[in-house]
């Protein structure tokens, strides 16, 4: 199907993009286009104007900051993240990026567009919530920063206000202790055709003297937004991360999910809930192995 007619504008800077959004009510931003263009062709979206931000160099920055965390520009592609963000503690980023779609999607799709679309079956929200990442936003009122948990609100809904743009994602440093290590992992049950997450789990753990000193666990794909599994994380801290303690902690994910589990033609809510402890355990086990 052909998309509806629209006016096209190319922004040369972030400030120009914000100004164009103010001038054209209902306009949409065009970055990688992997979410927007299908919606246009299906006539699910008719914005009237598209603002192309794909050539704004400031949004393409991708580097490790002085503290050891990562600064990821909104226009960083999945492939760029997969081949750049990694190493000790950040393994989940490469795993999530490498599992998105196919090579064409990974080479063109951007992390900013992905999280702004807020598809509950996306991989990035789960990883960002597990890491406690922050998201920098710019708009008519200036810049503000939200945690990943604050940013994702509901099905395809974020905290972005009218005229605001995702500018950068900051992943905090995963500095290993002198007497231990840190590791992360992302495990998902992928749809065989789209590779979207029917269920995804991310875990990052810090181990000191053979005992879990800190943990972050999140699940996605089975709830309206990615959820931080605080009950699971609390059950890991202070424990030696062996099969028994990992399985026991992962089983507690049901307490974090509550009744807020999605079901569809691909997998029922009951099936997703039953499989959640399995994938949470896989992510924790792999993260623990890397931390060791």
Dihedral sign computed on CA atoms, order 236, 124, 286, 266: positive
**Tokens 């994910």 — which residue?**
253
Cβ contact 168:83 at 8 Å: no
Give the tens place of pLDDT for each residue, 175-199: 888 888 999 999 999 999 999 999 9
User: Are the C-beta atoms of 184 and 91 separated by less than 8 Å?
Assistant: yes
Q: What is the spatial distance between Cα 255 and Cα 16, in angstroms, rounded to a whole number?
A: 46
Q: Which of 88, 281, 114, 120 is nearest to 202 (CA)?
A: 281
* Average pLDDT of the segment spanning 199-215: 96
Does 20 have pLDDT greater than 90?
yes
Paired tokens of 77: 């592609």
Is the confidence at residue 1, as pLDDT, over 80? no
pTM: 0.95
Least confident range from 32-36, 138-142, 215-219: namely 32-36
Instruction: Give the domains, in start order, of the chain with CATH numbers.
Output: 7-51 (3.30.43.10), 58-171 (3.30.465.10), 180-291 (3.30.390.50)
pLDDT tens by residue, 54-63: 999 999 999 9
Return the number of other C-beta atoms located less than 10 Å from residue 220's C-beta. Answer: 29
> Is the pLDDT reported for residue 2 higher than 80?
no
């Amino acid at each position: 199907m052909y998309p509806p007619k629209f006016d096209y504008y190319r922004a040369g800077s972030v400030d120009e993009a914000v100004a164009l959004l103010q001038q054209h009510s209902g306009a949409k931003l065009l970055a990688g286009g992997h979410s927007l263009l299908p919606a246009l062709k299906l006539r699910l979206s008719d914005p009237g104007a598209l603002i192309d931000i794909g050539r704004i160099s400031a949004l393409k920055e991708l580097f490790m900051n002085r503290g050891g965390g990562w600064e990821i520009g909104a226009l960083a592609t999945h492939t760029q993240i997969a081949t750049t963000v990694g190493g000790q503690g950040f393994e989940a980023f490469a795993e999530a990026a490498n599992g998105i779609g196919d090579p064409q999607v990974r080479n063109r799709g951007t992390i900013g567009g992905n999280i702004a679309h807020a598809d509950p079956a996306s991989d990035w929200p789960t990883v960002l919530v597990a890491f406690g990442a922050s998201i920098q936003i710019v708009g008519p009122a200036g810049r503000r920063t939200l945690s990943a948990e604050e940013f994702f609100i509901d099905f395809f809904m974020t905290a972005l206000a009218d005229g605001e743009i995702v500018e950068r994602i900051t992943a905090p440093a995963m500095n290993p202790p002198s007497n231990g290590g840190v590791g992360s992992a992302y495990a998902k049950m992928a749809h065989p055709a789209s590779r979207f997450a029917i269920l995804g789990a991310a875990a990052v753990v810090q181990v000191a003297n053979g005992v879990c000193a800190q943990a972050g666990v999140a699940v996605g794909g089975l709830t309206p937004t990615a959820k931080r599994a605080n009950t699971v994380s609390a059950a890991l801290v202070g424990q030696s991360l062996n099969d028994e303690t990992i399985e026991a902690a992962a089983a507690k994910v049901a307490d974090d999910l509550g009744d807020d589990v999605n079901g569809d033609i691909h997998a029922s809510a009951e099936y997703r809930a039953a499989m959640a402890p399995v994938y949470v355990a896989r992510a924790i086990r792999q993260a623990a192995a890397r931390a060791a």
